[in-house]
């Protein structure tokens, strides 16, 4: 509320990011679904969702390619790790963003991932990993660590898994995180002795069955959520070629 006669301060607006034609074409090529409320993309590995360092634009910044003149860009509803590929959801409008944000807080989102792990299928081949995690800072890097439930920084974390295929030295898992802690699936799988291939941070192998695993082999394959206009929506994204190639080479396809 302003004093009578006082000038109202202008609202702060976020500056528009200037994108090149190649960047616009690139981010538009990632779209897997769009309607007036939402926009979903298949994020490639190596692209930061937000807060990236260096000169390369993040996905959040690339979303300016979808902004209408004088309007804000679509808003990210959740994030994926830089090296994780797959479905990522944005809201086109403020009401849609509010609706989806509340639905996520209420755990009405269902996420399904696929991962290549070593040195084989977990035992048992399906189950729930219910182990608390805590955040640890090392310089400019953040890690998650398993911890005791009574640790002062403990956060509850639950991950469901099942084995889709196995071969000597590797397995393909389907993963359903019930909570959304940073690096949750990566740390939980490392905790049970089945780190994700290519996950240098948490002990993943860089060579699997004689085949290179040059990056984190974790893919967000499907996302189910309540749609702002009613009903439920399930979106899927195909496994990227490099991960699909490794799956085939290992005989996990």
Catalytic residue numbers read: 81
Distance (Å, whole) CA 8 – CA 125: 62
Beta bridge partners of 127: 161
Please give the C-alpha separations between residue 110 and each of 177, 186, 220, 243, in angstroms, as whole numbers: 8, 18, 11, 22
Q: Give every CB contact of residue 45 below 8 A, 6+ residues apart in sequence.
A: 82, 83, 84, 85, 215, 216, 240, 242
CB neighbours (10 Å) of residue 199? 27
Q: Would you state the structure tokens that stand for residue 78, as one six-digit string?
A: 């959740």
If you ran DSSP here, which 8-state letter would residue 190 be given? H
Q: Taking the mean position of all CA atoms in its chain, how far away is CA 92?
A: 19
Give the residue among 76, 104, 106 at the shortest CA–CA distance from 90. 76
Place of tokens 């396809």: 253
Do the beta carbons of residue 87 and residue 109 sit within 8 Å?
A: no
Distance (Å, whole) CA 76 – CA 54: 20
């Amino acid at each position: 509320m302003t004093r009578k006669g006082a000038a109202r301060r202008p609202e702060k607006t976020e500056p528009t990011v200037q994108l090149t034609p190649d960047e616009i074409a690139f981010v538009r090529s990632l779209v897997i679904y769009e309607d007036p409320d939402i926009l979903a993309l298949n994020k490639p590995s190596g692209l930061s969702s937000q807060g990236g360092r260096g000169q390369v634009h993040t996905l959040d910044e690339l979303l300016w390619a979808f902004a209408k003149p004088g309007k804000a860009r679509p808003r990210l509803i959740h994030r994926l790790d830089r090296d994780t590929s797959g479905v990522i959801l944005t809201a086109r409008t403020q009401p849609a963003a509010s609706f989806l944000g509340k639905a996520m807080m209420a755990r009405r989102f269902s996420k399904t991932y696929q991962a290549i792990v070593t040195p084989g299928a977990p035992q048992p081949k399906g189950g729930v990993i219910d182990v608390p995690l805590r955040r640890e800072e090392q310089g400019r890097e953040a890690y998650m660590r398993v911890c005791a439930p009574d640790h002062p920084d403990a956060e509850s974390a639950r991950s469901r898994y099942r084995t889709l295929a196995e071969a000597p030295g590797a397995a393909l898992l389907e993963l359903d995180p019930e909570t959304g802690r940073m690096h949750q699936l990566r740390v939980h799988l490392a905790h049970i002795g089945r780190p994700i291939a290519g996950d240098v941070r948490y002990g993943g192998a860089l060579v699997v069955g004689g085949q290179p695993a040059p990056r984190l082999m974790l893919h967000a394959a499907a996302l189910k959520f309540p749609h702002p206009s009613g009903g439920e929506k399930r979106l899927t994204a195909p496994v990227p070629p490099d991960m699909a190639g490794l799956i085939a080479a290992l005989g996990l396809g």
